[in-house]
Structure 1
């Protein structure tokens, strides 16, 4: 037995030498030694983390966690014990148990606290129920939007087809009838387009952006190719050739310019020989924090300027961009455009002058934002 252990037990070297180990144990540990500890040593030749309590001269106990190895030679068998005192561990465990017991007693004895706990649980259950209802209503609303859009498209297509058939096959139609048929085709086409945009607008809430590297010029060209305005002699588009690139969802960015072009065409100024749309872009550095005051983090953005020579103020563009959206055929496309830009953590603003056209300023992050969308 080393000096540190002898000191804790209050024994001298001569008082320890030649004595049996179990003589230094408390009564409970003696029983454990005889029934468990020693048989394990005999069977396994080693024991790990066995708990024994030694008794000192003054009666104080020393709890120890022992590891034992049996070493055999040709002439003798030696049992080597290595231990660690764990009196502090016992004290900490007792303190933790006491603290837990006090907390449990306090909770059980405090009727107000128990009542508040029950009320909180009931409130959480109510919130869970309301959340499920809202989720179900949202899913049902999404399905209703799809149903309305899809079911209404078919009669509109048939109406357009029938009107075109009458125009091509009908004989002796008066000028007034022809004009009315063209109006029917125009109105139904606009309604069909509006329903499709409305459906896209609603779907955008759940849309997961697929970020890729985009070339602004190519995005504009794609938007023009998919637009009914392609090869329109009354439309002139001037777009940048500086190959500016940024990260974004190609599908949505194409739709953004489709909607802007569509809106420019619907609000073209008949006084002008052509609808002229001019698009330019530069790379800028600006603060990414818009809503938080006194917070600054500067990053690269692409600033896109889109302007046309349309009627300007007729649709109150600034109100549509900055204020709450009122859905109607004249601004659903702009509302959708605004949502696309904000989905990319960008900003869109508008300025219009009567009879001189509208100008949109769109700023988009060059790189994919670290925030999930």
Structure 2
């Protein structure tokens, strides 16, 4: 008897799981949609919606139900089996049923929907007029407008400063190349004509300047380059980095042991540059005849929220540990080692390599840390997400997430 009353109720009824699978409907809803109710069971509830209704449910209704477990007087449009649009009014309740979360809904067809919508618009305007006349809200609005203008001024200033910095970067990295090339050319020519000791110092200084300009070019490139994320094989780009390294150093200077690193989504050129600089530092700051380097790889989960307290979204990360047995460094300086032009040791290096590594890690929503033991070892630890989609970086602006 109760089942018959449920089937013949003067409203459509439907229940579905969180994945959208329908598990219960009544005959009234089947009659409204002109579909046998048994044929509806097992289908996805979104198959009953028009496209605009699907979008509304995905972006508003379903999230609302997960937050407050109920919704009332929601206007939707259903799609009958013969393609007719059916405006309905919906009430919904999300609850636990037999250890699973379900959403139960009742539908009432409202052919006078337009009239109701006009009444809602009129009510909204009335409410807005009432709010605009509220003295406190007017004061808040004025304060907000003042802050908005101030923010606009600050944003214009920042934009202007960014343009000036961009121009300065181009001057430093491009306009210096030609005079530097001539300095190197004439220095080499003079070295062939005279054997003065100062010539060797001059040549060394010119090469150092060339290294600085090259490093700045790479830094500017990382700021301006549009990140091109794709599936990257880390083992392959390590080999590419080693090939580049052997063009500048003897191959026997590096002894590398590494795990199978795997793959992740990233910018291949940037990641190769990062690994090149890590290996290059190991070779430059070795304490013996060769640099012994170990690269370890671990898959783990990390919270994607780092700045917002109390929020959690655990994503898959690759943790890379690059350890060498070189001269190391005092861990007191581990927070300064990634600063631009920061040198902890005299001799080779311009203090650019690890700054570039930090920039690249930031471009991949990653984290980079350093630890050292003076005279014993240096370990650079990098966490990189397997997928950039979790951080909304597929179309991110270059450099926008640098820490």
What range is the shorter-chain TM-score in?
A: 0.5 to 0.7
> CA offset at residue 334 of structure 1?
1.0
Which protein is bigger by CA-based radius of gyration? 1
Provide TM-score, normalisation by structure 2: 0.57
Shift of 1:355: 1.7
Q: Among residues 205, 212, 221, which one is paired with 1:187 in the alignment?
A: 205
- Give distance in 1, aligned partners of 2:188 and 2:374: 36
Contact 2:232-2:266 within 8 A present in 1 as well: yes
In structure 1, stretches of 5+ residues that fail to align are 1-83
- Structure-2 residue corresponding to 1:300: 316
The equivalent of 1:240 in structure 2 is 258
SS at match of 2:384: strand
* CA distance in 1: counterparts of 2:390 and 2:274, whole angstroms: 22
Change in Cα spacing, 1:208 to 1:113, as seen in structure 2 (3 Å) is same
* Paired positions, count: 274
| Match in the other structure for 2:358 | 338
For 1:365 and 1:148, how far apart are their aligned partners in 2? Answer: 33
1:232 Cα deviation from its structure 2 partner: 0.9
Q: 2:374 aligns with which of 334, 354, 366?
A: 354
- Map of 1:303-318 to 2, 5 A cutoff? 303-313=319-329, 318=334
Which of 224, 227, 234 is the equivalent residue of 1:209?
227
Query: What is the rounded CA distance, in whole Å, between the counterparts of 2:121 and 2:329 in structure 1?
Result: 73
Q: How far off is 1:206 after superposition? A: 4.8
- The answer as to whether partners of 1:277 and 1:306 remain within 8 angstroms in 2 is no
Say whether residues 1:146 and 2:162 are aligned partners.
no
- 8 Å CA contact 1:216, 1:244 repeated in 2: yes
The offset of 1:247, in angstroms, is 1.8
2-structure distance, mates of 1:341, 1:335: 10
Change (3 A) 1:98 1:232: closer
Q: Helix, strand or coil: the match of 2:388?
A: coil
- SS of the counterpart of 2:383? strand
Output the CA distance in 1 between the equivalents of 2:261 and 2:253. 23
Contact 2:331 2:373 in 1 (8 A): no
Structure 1 residue 298 displacement after superposition: 4.4
Matched, 1:164 2:180: no
1:226 aligns with 2:249: no
Give the aligned CA root-mean-square deviation in angstroms: 3.6
Q: For residues 115 and 352 of structure 1, do their structure 2 counterparts lie closer, same or farther at Cα, with a shift above 3 Å needed?
A: closer
Q: Please report the TM-score for the alignment, with normalisation by the length of structure 1.
A: 0.61
Structure 2 segments unaligned to the other structure (5+ residues): 1-109, 344-349, 394-403
Alignment check: 8 A CA contact 1:219 1:253 kept: yes
